[in-house]
Chain A
């Protein structure tokens, strides 16, 4: 356990090194957020919906702020497989899946918190109807924090499954791009899931992708009421467990077939 903990700490420290590079990314993300909010404002001006505009703008900002949680991935593993230095990792007295799981959790957590903090401050300062609103209730906020943590664990499990495909084919850029696109669409980054047709939403919110950010955001904005919160979190927990187990099995299977590239 201590070993995993220190792997987690090391990765976190590494991610904190590139604070300068964060600034450009944050400004770019803020700009995208402003554009999206402006589009939804124009749409709402023509035909207001049941859902208040401030819920949509909050949704957009929270998605933009935690963007990095969805997309960050570990480039080292791929290199290691290609060069054969994965052999060193196999020698460690650790489970390979577990080792990379804590690393990706650390990377996604640190990377997204580092970006989210300035972005959320900015979004709070924007006027009503443009920015991020306060959480619907204190209890809802607490639930959404728990949901965010579960979302982090869930997205890391998903990332490891994508990595599993990468191990198989060496060059899986096409596969990775497709899976990432599917994730961005079904996680609500491209278009808030709350704006999908209502009949679709019943299915989409049950998919693993909706567990990442959509559930915590809905808990935050009050779209999910407090009575629905335990159920929403239960779905997150189930998906996380399922994906971790599937990923473990997938990796073990891959490990048996793994060929160490010499050199």
Chain B
């Protein structure tokens, strides 16, 4: 609990510190809006030309896109320490200071940064979710709301876990962390669309190895009343647990990797 309080306090300070330069903050926030707006424009243009993707109609596609935007950028706001700063902390030796303090390494890394500029990306995602929900005429019920909340919450843990792959690699070798981007950013681009449109190897990758499908697409498809892979409805409540499972595995690997950590000494 103490850790959680510490984290919340750090987040408040981090966000406040960024707001100290309101104009710069506003500009960068707008840039983020244009960026994510551009991504959504691509989806809109594709839907305009092709109407649908297999059994998924326009509303369904907007819903999937919105779910990914909201989850991904929530992770970027609140997990910035892991998603952005960690490799450079290793490279510059800044991580050494973290080792001296009487708190967990991961806690401190997570507390070290926040990225509130992404709030506009989340706004785009919410618009897309609402648009998708109304186009697909989703009949919202309490279980469906809970399912959406569960999906977003556990997506956060999944993404954090995948970003930790990069962190772990950066401890072992100071260079060549680009490969891990294939899982995180590649996963984001790919899983803006439901995973059953992909050929088998990619589908397996996004269901078993980086389980975006289990955490996002299975619950979302149940909310849309078109269960993915034809799985029964109750599975949608269970499969998102794979998100925290990935995080747990990565956490153990991270602790192992920290034993190898050698300061760069600068």
Contacts and interface: CB of A to CB of B under 8 A. Distances in A.
Interface of A: 20-21, 23-25, 27-28, 31-32, 34-36, 38-39, 42-47, 49, 173-174, 177-178, 181, 185, 190-191, 195-197
Given A45-B54, A177-B35, A195 B197 contact: no
Contacts of B35: 177, 181
A124 to B, nearest CB: 19
Interface stretch (B38-46, B89-97, B223-231): B38-46
Contacts of A32: 182, 186, 189
**Across the A-B interface, the 9 shortest Cβ-Cβ residue pairs:** A42-B197, A24-B178, A43-B50, A35-B190, A191-B42, A31-B182, A174-B27, A24-B176, A24-B179
A45 B51 CA distance: 12
B38 A49 contact: no
Given A31-B182, A46-B52, A195 B45 contact: yes
Given A28-B179, A43-B50, A49-B49, A38 B189 contact: no
B54 A42 contact: yes
17 contacts: A24-B177, A25-B178, A31-B186, A32-B186, A35-B189, A35-B198, A38-B198, A38-B199, A39-B190, A46-B50, A46-B54, A47-B49, A49-B49, A177-B31, A190-B38, A197-B45, A197-B49
A62 B127 CA distance: 33
Nearest to B52: A46
A195 B47 CA distance: 11
B193 A39 contact: yes
A207 B39 CA distance: 20
Interface of B: 24, 27-28, 31, 34-35, 38-39, 41-42, 45-46, 48-54, 175-179, 181-182, 186, 189-190, 193, 197-199, 202
Given A42-B53, A42-B197, 19 more contacts: A20-B176, A23-B176, A24-B177, A32-B182, A32-B186, A34-B202, A35-B186, A35-B189, A39-B197, A43-B53, A46-B50, A46-B53, A47-B49, A47-B50, A49-B49, A174-B31, A178-B34, A181-B35, A190-B42
Contacts of B50: 43-44, 46-47
Contact of B175 (A21, A43, A191): A21
A9 to B, nearest CB: 26
Nearest to A38: B198
Contacts of B38: 181, 185, 190
A178 B179 CA distance: 25
Nearest to B53: A42
Contacts of A49: 49
Nearest to B181: A28
Contact of B51 (A42, A46, A181, A185): A46
A191 B46 CA distance: 9
B28 to A, nearest CB: 5
Contact of A47 (B24, B52, B177): B52
Contacts of B182: 27-28, 31-32
B204 to A, nearest CB: 13
A192 B46 CA distance: 10
Given A27-B182, A28-B182, A43 B189 contact: no
